[in-house]
């Protein structure tokens, strides 16, 4: 039995090493392909092979694209719509927005626009996009990429650059709020229990969720674990949750205090309602909550 | 006790007798595992108040003569919990647990809460059991606040804010004068959505006794489901029907009442909402979350789904070009091989088995991959069962059309349209007067052509037809790939007509 286990661990070790070496090889290959004048140097003795040329071209294209994307945040590209009936023979302008948080590029969003010619000017219109619905895309379009409505006479002024800039701002601030909530959860020691809860969920996926109801008071629904009524001060935070757009955060303590906080887009807490366990409002705690999201827990504690 | 019409909701703890049709119907469908986990959930401390089982202490002295009862009532909640824990670990039949619940521990009746959770459990077990219609909550434009509605500021809010408690009390206030109902709203842990179940009790009384009365004409569904995907303006609604059950006008009417109350419950002073159609109906909840969900996929479906993940755009710091290509080739080759093994479709297995495909077939596969991207795979669980379009393009001119004939044809078509509306309920695909006017301005003859695709996964089927060379993948219009993101629509100039504005928001 032991030998089988040993063999298994050996095999998995080897797999890990193979993938590490593969990654290293790929890395070296791309470094090599990115060498300046590589194509010219390969060409001197005899005709350069087609595949080598293609690889070099591909690499240099990728390098250029990545540099632009990494440095600019908002980049444009061209796409061909495969639909034979597409407007403008399927010429599509793509705008990609890269969101970087904490030194990492976390997500890329795309907006694909088609346009219709209208005496010398082009009228852009969103064809497809991958912006989540919690971002006010329609509002930004109304403002910066307006469509000519009923009266054809008035030529709407479109400003793609500002549209892209503001859309990126919305996306980045959303990601930063999500990140800030995660930080708060970690700070409250909830990250661990959360992942454990997820494990349980996987084992027992058919369990119905938390039941919220107008006929069930919040405190009954919130705590599975019956806590002895703790004095305020050493109460644990049971839950920190937010809506999809992270504009509202709800904190639940083990002593049945709750706080509902409203967050602005730049991550400041502007409104807060804190309630003690008997449902009365705690004005002083609410005042303490105002301010940036980072350090919220410290302010509430102190 | 005197019964009087009142203005109350039906509380969780009201019980239905175990032989009630709704109870029998719901509980017969559940699996053993689901029944056990439901019972455990009912016995947990927070739910005990409205899931009261029959315990030994409940046994009345008066009816003590039932000595030959099948299930000995348990002493305490803890003992019952232990029994169900034991049942969960043991293998056995579904019937065993079902009988224990209905004839043993809850012989005195199944509470409304239990019925609701059981029905929700069934829905989660079978996410394709009901037919859902997706609607959108849109703000009614207000002349006074029109400017501020459009602004994007640091604290502007464009989605209706969902606060369960407030919403529930508003909804109950809208509905109680019209009907009695039991509400259960719950957040689903496994997928990002909130679910509301409204059990409609068509009676002026909210007493336990009135619930038990079986209305002879209630073959219609009594419960309505609504689902809010988190962080999106959409609402999915469905009547809780059983397979094959005909939804009567009564059931539909009650659902409409609840549906009309929903935007009102969302509305606040100076922010009024209405429900608008999004031309999307399907049975699959997963498909709904893809096409009308809260993620990136709403407005990039069909072939455009390559933009959703990293298959089109790598991480901006990923400079490696060589390995990626190799790995992908290998993967796709493997996938192709397994596909051939797992799906020996009629007449396909042989060709897939010998891996040397003809260059023609390979090209068709590539074309299909280009048109559909990673979408429309037959095993992705996001199948739409029905897709309907009306073609509003003029008939391709063969010779010269003379005006007289054209007029005759259009008037004929008018007659047809009016006839079809009279026959049944008006279809969404029937041309409106406005559409007809548009068509008459068009040069040429526009016949009333409708195309309906039906199946378990319509777009996967079309993809297969492209791969088999039956549909020309390059000349195929875009709406056949599912990129329009609707299940019903009108085609004009080869494209599905859409309203002004941004798709999928």
The residue that leads in pLDDT, A166 or B177, is A166
Residue A168 pLDDT: 93
Question: B317 to chain A, minimum CA–CA distance in Å?
Answer: 6
Beta strands A211-212 and A121-129 are unpaired
Q: Do residue A108 and residue B46 have CB atoms under 8 angstroms apart?
A: no
Q: What is the pLDDT of residue B55?
A: 81
Cβ atoms of B37 and B88 closer than 8 Å? yes
Euclidean distance between CA atoms B396 and B161, whole angstroms: 49
Higher pLDDT, B104 or B210: B104
Disruptive mutation site among A211, A219, A227, A270 for chain B (greatest number of B CBs within 10 Å): A211
Contact (Cβ atoms closer than 8 angstroms) between residue B282 and residue B385: yes
Q: What number is the average pLDDT over the span A154-164?
A: 81
**Chain A partners of B188 at a C-beta cutoff of 8 Å?**
208-209
Bigger pLDDT: B254 vs B492: B492
Report the range of poorest mean pLDDT among A275-284, B31-40, B207-216. B207-216
**Looking at B62-66, B181-185, B306-310, B356-360, which range is the least confident one?**
B62-66
Q: Which of B314, B322, B478 sits opposite A86 (nearest CB)?
A: B478
Q: Å from B423 to nearest chain A CA? A: 35
Question: Does residue B354 surpass a pLDDT of 80?
Answer: no
Q: What pLDDT sits at residue B110?
A: 87
When mean pLDDT is compared across A64-73, A195-204, B289-298, B383-392, the lowest value belongs to: A195-204
Whether the CB of B60 is below 8 Å from some CB of chain A: the reply is: no
Cβ <8 Å between A130 and B296: yes
CB A126 within 8 A of CB A145: yes
CB contact under 8 A, B152 and A140: yes
Could you tell me the CA-to-CA distances from A200 to A236, B18, B34, B86, B187 in Å, in that order?
Answer: 22, 32, 16, 19, 17
Do residues A37 and A8 touch, judged by C-beta distance below 8 A?
no
Check whether A1 has a pLDDT greater than 50.
Answer: yes
Q: What is the pLDDT of residue B323?
A: 53
Chain B: closest CA distance from residue A6 (Å): 29
Of the candidates A142, A221, A265, the beta carbon closest to that of B46 is on: A221
CB contact under 8 A, B41 and A59: no
- On chain B, the residues whose CB falls within 8 A of the CB of A35 are none
pTM of the model: 0.79
Asked if the model's pLDDT at residue B62 lies above 70, the reply is no
The average confidence (pLDDT) of chain B is: 76
The runs of H, that is alpha helices, within B226-318 are 249-266, 285-291
Is some CB atom of chain A closer than 8 A to the CB atom of B505? yes
CB contact under 8 A, A66 and B150: no
Range with the poorest average pLDDT among A51-60, B268-277, B323-332: B323-332
How distant is the Cα of A197 from the closest Cα of chain B, in angstroms? 10
Residue A11 has pLDDT above 70, yes or no: yes
- The answer to whether residues B131 and B285 touch, using CB atoms and an 8 Å cutoff, is no
pLDDT for B337 equals 37
Average pLDDT over residues B102-116: 86
Measured CA to CA, the distance from residue B32 to residue A129 in angstroms comes to: 44
B478 vs A218, which has greater pLDDT? B478
Give the integer Cα–Cα distance in Å for B231 and B227. 12
Whether pLDDT at B35 is above 80? yes
A38-47, A192-201, B112-121, range with the lowest pLDDT: A192-201
Q: Is the pLDDT of residue A10 over 90?
A: yes
Collapsed DSSP state (helix, strand, coil) of residue B265: helix
pLDDT at A7: 92
Cβ-based neighbour number of residue B258 at 10 Å: 22
Outline where DSSP puts E strands in A42-152.
Answer: 74-80, 91-101, 104-118, 121-129
The distance of B125 to chain A (nearest Cα, Å) reads: 7
- The beta-carbon neighbor of B34 closest among A58, A70, A206 is A206
Residue B165: pLDDT over 50: yes
More confident residue, B235 or A219: B235
3-state secondary structure chain A: CHHHHHHHHHHHHHHHHHHHHHHHHHHHHHHHHCCCCHHHHHHCCCCCCHHHHHHHHHHHHHHHHHHHHHHHCEEEEEEECCCCCCHHHHEEEEEEEEEEECCEEEEEEEEEEEEEEECCEEEEEEEEECCCCCCCHHHHHHHHCCCCCCCCCCCCCCCHHHHHHHHHHHHHHHHHHHHHHHHHHHHCCHHHHHHHHHHHHHHCCCCCCCEECCCCCHHHHHCCCCCCCCCCCCCCEEEEEECCCCCEEEEEECCCCEEEEEECCCCEEEEEEEECCCCCECHHHHHHHCEECCCHHHHHHC
pLDDT of residue B334: 39
Q: Looking at CA atoms only, how far is residue B56 from chain A in angstroms?
A: 26
- The whole-angstrom separation of Cα B314 and Cα B143 is 45
Contact A129 B152 (CB under 8 A): no
Out of B283-292, B375-384, B419-428, which region has the weakest mean confidence (pLDDT)? Answer: B419-428
Nearest Cβ partner of B502 from A70, A137, A226? A137
| Interface pTM, i.e. ipTM | 0.77
CA B392 to chain centre: 29
Half-sphere exposure of A6 (CA within 13 A, CB side): 3
Whether the CB of B156 is below 8 Å from some CB of chain A: the reply is yes
Contacts of A56 in chain B (CB under 8 A): none
**Per-residue model confidence (pLDDT) at position B346:** 39
Better-predicted residue by pLDDT, B483 or B346 = B483
Letter string b/e over residues B342-352, b meaning 16 or more CB atoms within 10 A of that residue's CB: eeeeeeeeeeb
Q: Indicate the angle between helix axes B322-342 and A2-33, nearest 10 degrees.
A: 130
CA-based nearest residue to B291, from B302, B307, B306: B302
pLDDT tens column, A265-302? 888 898 898 888 888 888 888 888 888 888 888 888 86
Task: Name every chain B residue with its beta carbon within 8 A of the beta carbon of A96.
Answer: 313
Give the nearest partner residue to B159 out of A82, A98, A245, using CB atoms.
A245
Confidence (pLDDT) at B335: 40
Q: How confident is the model at residue B497 (pLDDT cuts 50, 70, 90)?
A: confident
């Amino acid at each position: 039995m032991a030998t089988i286990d040993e063999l298994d661990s050996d095999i998995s070790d080897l797999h890990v090493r193979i993938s590490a070496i593969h990654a290293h090889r790929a890395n070296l290959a791309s470094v090599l392909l990115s060498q300046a004048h590589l194509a010219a140097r390969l060409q001197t003795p005899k005709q350069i092979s087609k595949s080598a040329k293609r690889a070099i071209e591909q690499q240099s294209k990728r390098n250029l694209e990545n540099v632009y994307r990494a440095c600019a945040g908002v980049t444009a590209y061209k796409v061909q719509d495969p639909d034979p009936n597409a407007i403008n023979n399927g010429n599509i302008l793509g705008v990609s927005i890269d969101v970087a948080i904490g030194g990492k590029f976390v997500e890329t969003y795309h907006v694909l626009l088609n346009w219709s010619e209208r005496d010398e000017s082009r009228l852009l219109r969103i064809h497809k996009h991958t912006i989540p619905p919690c971002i006010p895309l329609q509002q930004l379009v109304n403002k910066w990429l307006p469509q000519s409505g009923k009266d054809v006479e008035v030529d709407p002024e479109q400003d793609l650059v500002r549209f892209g800039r503001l859309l990126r701002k919305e996306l980045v601030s959303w990601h930063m709020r999500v990140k800030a909530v995660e930080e708060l959860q970690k700070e409250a020691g909830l990250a661990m229990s959360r992942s454990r809860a997820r494990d349980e969920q996987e084992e027992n996926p058919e369990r119905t969720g938390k039941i919220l109801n107008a006929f069930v008071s919040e405190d009954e629904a919130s705590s599975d674990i019956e806590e002895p009524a703790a004095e305020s001060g050493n109460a644990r935070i049971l839950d920190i949750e937010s809506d999809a757009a992270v504009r509202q955060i709800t904190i639940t303590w083990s002593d049945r205090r709750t706080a509902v906080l409203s967050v602005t887009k730049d991550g400041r807490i502007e409104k807060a309602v804190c309630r003690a366990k008997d449902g009365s409002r705690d004005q002083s705690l609410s005042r303490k909550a105002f301010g940036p999201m980072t350090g919220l827990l410290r302010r509430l504690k102190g | 006790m005197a019964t009087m019409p009142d203005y109350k909701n039906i509380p969780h703890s009201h019980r239905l007798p175990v032989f009630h049709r709704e109870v029998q119907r719901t509980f017969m469908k559940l699996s053993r595992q689901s029944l056990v986990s439901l019972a455990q959930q009912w016995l947990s401390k927070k739910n005990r108040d409205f899931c009261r089982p029959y315990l030994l202490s409940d046994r009345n002295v008066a009816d003590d003569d039932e000595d030959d009862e099948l299930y000995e009532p348990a002493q305490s909640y803890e003992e019952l919990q232990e029994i169900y824990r034991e049942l969960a670990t043991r293998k056995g039949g579904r019937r065993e647990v079902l009988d224990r619940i209905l004839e043993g521990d809850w012989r005195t009746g199944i509470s409304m809460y239990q019925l609701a959770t059981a029905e929700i459990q069934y829905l989660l077990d079978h996410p394709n059991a009901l037919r859902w219609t997706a609607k959108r909550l849109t703000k009614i434009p207000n002349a006074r606040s029109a400017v501020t509605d459009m602004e994007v500021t640091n604290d502007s809010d464009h989605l209706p804010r969902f606060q369960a408690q407030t919403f529930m009390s508003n909804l109950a206030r809208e509905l109680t004068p019209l009907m009695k109902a039991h509400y259960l709203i719950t957040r689903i842990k496994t997928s990002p959505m909130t679910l509301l179940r409204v059990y409609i009790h068509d009676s002026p009384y909210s007493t336990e006794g009135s619930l038990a009365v079986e209305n002879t004409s209630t073959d219609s569904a009594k419960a309505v489901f609504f689902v809010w995907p988190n962080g999106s303006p959409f609402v999915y609604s469905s009547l809780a029907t059983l397979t094959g059950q005909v939804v009567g006008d009564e059931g539909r009417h009650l659902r409409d009442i609840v549906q009309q109350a929903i935007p009102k419950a969302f509305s606040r002073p100076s922010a009024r909402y209405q429900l608008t159609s999004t031309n999307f109906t399907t049975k699959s909840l997963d498909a709904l979350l893809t096409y009308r969900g809260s993620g990136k996929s709403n407005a990039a479906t069909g072939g455009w789904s390559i933009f959703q993940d990293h298959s089109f755009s790598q991480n901006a710091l990923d400079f490696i070009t060589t390995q990626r290509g190799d790995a992908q080739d290998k993967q796709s080759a493997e996938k192709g091989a397994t596909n051939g093994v797992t799906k020996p479709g009629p007449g396909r297995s042989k060709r897939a088995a010998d891996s040397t495909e003809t260059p023609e077939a390979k090209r068709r596969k590539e074309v299909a991959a280009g048109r559909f991207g990673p979408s429309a795979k037959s095993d992705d669980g996001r199948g739409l069962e029905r897709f309907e379009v009306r073609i509003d393009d003029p008939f391709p001119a063969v010779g010269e059309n003379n005006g007289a004939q054209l007029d005759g044809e259009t008037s004929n078509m008018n007659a047809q349209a009016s006839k079809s509306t009279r026959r049944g309920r008006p279809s969404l695909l029937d041309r409106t007067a406005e559409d007809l006017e548009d068509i008459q301005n068009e040069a040429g003859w526009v016949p009333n052509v409708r195309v309906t695709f039906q199946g378990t996964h319509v777009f996967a089927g079309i993809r297969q037809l492209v791969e088999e060379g039956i549909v020309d993948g390059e000349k195929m219009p875009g709406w056949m790939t599912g990129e329009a993101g609707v299940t019903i629509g009108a085609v004009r100039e080869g494209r599905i007509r859409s309203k002004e504005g941004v798709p999928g928001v």
